[in-house]
Structure 1
Amino acid sequence: METRFNYVEASPGALQTMLKLEGFIQTSGLDAKLNELIKIRASQINGCAFCINMHTQAAREMGETEQRIYLLNAWREAPFYSDKERAVLELTEAVTRISEQGVPQELYERVRAHVDEAEYMAIIMAINTINAWNRIAISTGMFPGQK
């Protein structure tokens, strides 16, 4: 497999913009493990093999269990996620597929039962950022194991 082109060489400013988004998320107070779950789930929905590979490895390095990583695409049927994680995973799916039904008020309220407005925005920014990374990786032909 080959990438279509090196987006960093073609547009260094694009990478810098994405890194600014990542920097915001890292300083927002959002739990790093929860952020990785967001990244993995959105990447699964978008079919971004490069990002799934990267973020499952990162989650393992943070101590996430294999079981929770393997069952993430079936989180509704798995008893291994907290109520907060479930709400955030549902929000991740809704925002990633926003054209289907938006973000229903009931979902917003379920998430807000666990987070304040600032953390809600950090979660939304994390979801938006990984969706942008997925679209960059897929559009430029990135694949797991590439250097």
Structure 2
Amino acid sequence: MEISIRKGILSELPQIKELFAGTITSVCQTDYNAEQLEAWKSSISNTERWNNLIKNQYFIVAEIDKEIVGFASLDHGNYIDMLYVHKDFQRQGIAQRLYDHLEHKSKYSNMESLTADVSKTAKPFFERNGFTTIARQVQVRSAVEIVNYKMQKTF
């Protein structure tokens, strides 16, 4: 299975947003309730935000056989804004490959650390990659509280 990483493009947004919603629904259901999952997924309707992810951030996709199986983004050279892997391609090294690209890009840009706001589901992955928790946070989306963690890794 050959995983390729490349820059994402605007025309792929419908597929990327579908992957985002599907991943949240199936992968995060043990850590969040249905109301929280729906509130989290509702951000796909913010077209301006999604367009800006690709236009203004370092936005990459992972592909296997020309199918997008994951995506990630780096904002301002040191903030991991997005890191999602398709629900059917979990635990195959895709998140690690995406993360490694973001870390390399950050180091290449002479950043001293990486930060991310991380879900309960993703927290163990980030800990394995050397991140520590700075704070437990409660985000409110569509009047629903969603717990996540501000995490950081210093180089």
- The question of a shared fold, defined as TM-score above 0.5 by the shorter chain, is answered with no
Q: Larger RCO: Structure 1 or Structure 2 (Cα < 8 Å, ≥ 6 residues apart)?
A: 1
Normalised TM-score (structure 2): 0.28
More strand by share: 2
**Greater fraction helix:** 1
Q: TM-score, normalised by structure 1?
A: 0.29
